[in-house]
Amino acid sequence: MKKGLILLTCLFLCISLYAYDFYVIRDTYLYDPSTSSKVTSIPKKSEIIIDRIGTGCVYRDGNHDEILYGVKITYNNFKGYIPLEDIILKNSMLIPDDLNFSEWIPAYELESLYSRNRKNLEDYVSFYKNYDKWRKYTDWDNDTWYSSHIPPRFIYINSVIRIESFNLFNGYIANIVTKNDDGKIAMQCVESENSGYDYDIPDYFTDIFLEGESYNLDYEIDGDYLYLTVNNQTKITLVRMRPGYSKVLFKFYVNTITEEDYKSIVWPRHADGSCDYDDKIIQNQKTSASYKTTDNLRLRRSEATTSEILTTLKKGTKVTVIEFGKQQTIDGVTAKWVKVQLDDGTEGWCFGGYLEPRP
């Protein structure tokens, strides 16, 4: 009898630890993720119980125009995914407005993309340097980390923060308590998909978020940048996930990216309109390097918009950089003035924000 009571108690504890009460905030549907079809309707104010906050992607329409994050549930004996944006965890505050419905990736992903060298990712994530050790946890034989790499992501939706990080860490932070007086969010990591494994290779988020632990998250949003400080010590810099990033990053990882792909990238900007990468186009290069103009650009006597105009360079004009000058922000673009030489020997100064390296 005692043994039976102990088993029942253990079962009850397991259910209580991994069952979350949500309620539906608008009329919605249960979706079949494989076909994107609507399985059944779910009315507003319905209460649902989720055993695990395992998420997946679903589409709101058959044209695949609107991708949604969904959570798997059983509703009236139907199985499928309900959009995370349509539900809220009971007894939980909403994620603050400036973070809600947003998705971010680590800034190092774009740093590596800008460098045009995918191996630079290994400098940020030690797991990649030791990828062969990972194979003992898998049945993979000859793959490489970049053949299946997905950028780590922070996804904020209503009362759930989903953290995705390649194959090692996938966690969920729920129970958003409130935004405290000091500007921090109190929250708890309620699930971690890697908690049952004894990995000896750290992943980007493995040592930051642990299942069952509570955290204070201080954050600052600066345009397309999100600066996170976890428990007053760990700092993470993230950039806003734009629609075209996934496709370009994947092509970068598998080494099929083209110059046209690079030209299509919308690099992140700060709230003041400046872009770190505008300046890097010039700053990270050496003199005597060959560039071309990305727009019609005035060649001047000195490094100032008030100096004499020598000529106007048409878009696509080839120039050679021979000297770097002062940095300035013009029309929301921050870059250095550069002294250049034309093919006919003419020398002058132009604003580097409208130059790009020639391949």
Q: What is the amino acid identity at position 77?
A: N
Look at the alpha carbons of 284, 289, 290, 291 in this order and tell me if their dihedral is positive or negative. Answer: positive
Q: State the number of CA atoms in the 13 A half-sphere of 255 facing the CB.
A: 7
Give the Cα separation of 37 and 100 in Å (integer). Answer: 26
DSSP classification of residue 200: S
pLDDT tens per residue, range 35-73: 778 889 999 999 988 766 666 677 666 555 567 778 888
Look at the alpha carbons of 178, 182, 184, 188 in this order and tell me if their dihedral is positive or negative. Answer: negative
Check: CB of residue 296 under 8 Å from CB of residue 239: no
Q: In order along the chain (359 residues), what is the average pLDDT of each group of 10 residues?
A: 31 39 90 82 90 67 65 85 86 78 89 82 71 63 66 83 63 52 68 57 65 80 90 88 84 84 84 72 59 89 90 90 80 79 91 79
Q: What pLDDT was estimated at residue 299?
A: 94
Give the Cα separation of 197 and 7 in Å (integer). Answer: 25
Instruction: Give the position of tokens 């966690």.
Output: 171
Query: Can you give the pTM of this predicted structure?
Result: 0.67
Give the Cα separation of 212 and 206 in Å (integer). Answer: 13
Q: What pLDDT was estimated at residue 258?
A: 86
Q: Is 260 helix (H, G, I), strand (E, B) or coil?
A: helix
pLDDT tens per residue, range 214-249: 788 888 899 899 998 888 888 889 999 887 888 888
Give the Cα separation of 149 and 206 in Å (integer). Answer: 16
Q: What pLDDT was estimated at residue 297?
A: 93
Give the Cα separation of 103 and 162 in Å (integer). Answer: 9
